[in-house]
A = this chain, B = another copy of it.
Amino acid sequence: MNCGELLIIGGAEDKCPEGEVLNKFVELAMRKPGGIGILPTASEIPDEVSKEYIRLFKELGVNRVEVLEVNSKRDAEDPAICEQLASFSAVFITGGNQSRLSELIRDSRLHKTLSKAWHDGMVVAGTSAGASIMGKQMIVAADMKLDDEKLKVEIGKGFGFLDDLLIDQHFSQRGRFDRLLSAIAENEEIMGIGIDENTAIVVSDGKFEVYGINQVLVLDGSSSDYINITIAENGSEELTLSGFRLHALTRGYQFDLKTRKLSLEKRIQS
Residues of A that sit less than 8 Å from B by CB: 146-147, 150, 172-175, 177-178, 181, 213-215, 219, 225-226, 232, 236, 238-251, 253, 261-262, 264
Contact = CB atoms under 8 A, between A and B. Distances in A.
Given A238-B250, A240-B249, A173 B147 contact: yes
A172 B178 CA distance: 7
Contacts of A244: 245-247
Contact of A175 (B175, B240, B245, B264): B175
B172 A226 contact: no
Contacts of A226: 262, 264
Nearest 10 CB-CB pairings of A with B: A175-B175, A242-B262, A244-B246, A177-B177, A238-B250, A246-B246, A242-B247, A240-B250, A241-B248, A147-B173
Nearest to A216: B240
13 contacts: A146-B173, A146-B174, A147-B173, A150-B214, A177-B178, A215-B238, A215-B239, A219-B246, A226-B264, A240-B248, A243-B245, A243-B247, A244-B246
B215 A150 contact: yes
A262 B225 CA distance: 9
A266 to B, nearest CB: 9
A260 to B, nearest CB: 10
A248 B150 contact: no
A177 B175 CA distance: 8
Nearest to A12: B147
A200 to B, nearest CB: 15
A248 to B, nearest CB: 5
